[in-house]
Structure 1
Amino acid sequence: MLVGNKRDLAHIREVTVEEGTTHAEQHNMSFIETSALESVNVINAFQTVLGEIHKIVSRKALAADSTKNNTVLSSGQKLAGSDDMTPRRGGCCSMV
């Protein structure tokens, strides 16, 4: 997310809203203008960033879960944790 701050000082801005929006789009980001002084969009910016982080982490967790049960070694043995997290003794690691 690209955040333009000092929204309340639009009369002395160096970057236009259009420039900010264009730059954000070119870099596959969202754009928002904020003003802490006027309390505009500050909470919204944080909530948007946290929401995006949550989506990314959730997608990664779902992707990891979907491949978890399919992890099989060439000998036919499943990797520890591929379908259960029961610790096993042996070798150099407690999960192997």
Structure 2
Amino acid sequence: MDKDKYTALHWAAKFGYVDIVKALLDKKASINVKNNDGKIPVDLTTNQEIKDLLQSAQKSNNDKLLSAAKDGNIEDVEHLINEGADVNAANKEGDTPLILAIRTCLKSS
């Protein structure tokens, strides 16, 4: 991260380096780190392929969060939230992570 809080993923997205974005995502680079202007990597790109890659990574994190909440896996839930997964994401039934976590707690009581 540089003085302006740009990560390698910010720079690769900004300059349209698709292969570098792919490599960074494969290495689990955080997609939600904000730079000094409050921008995440997807905000800096004009390249549609990069936008699609970053949005797909976000959806994957959201899906993992929904699954972790349903399973009652608190450590994974905390990690995914810290990585920027959307706590308001909903599954096909419209359930959010909070609803799934509550159901899991109620079943185990």
TM-score, normalization: structure 2? 0.32
Where relative contact order (Cα < 8 A, 6+ residues apart) is larger, the structure is 2
Select the structure of larger CA radius of gyration: 1
Higher strand share: 1
TM-score, normalization: structure 1? 0.36
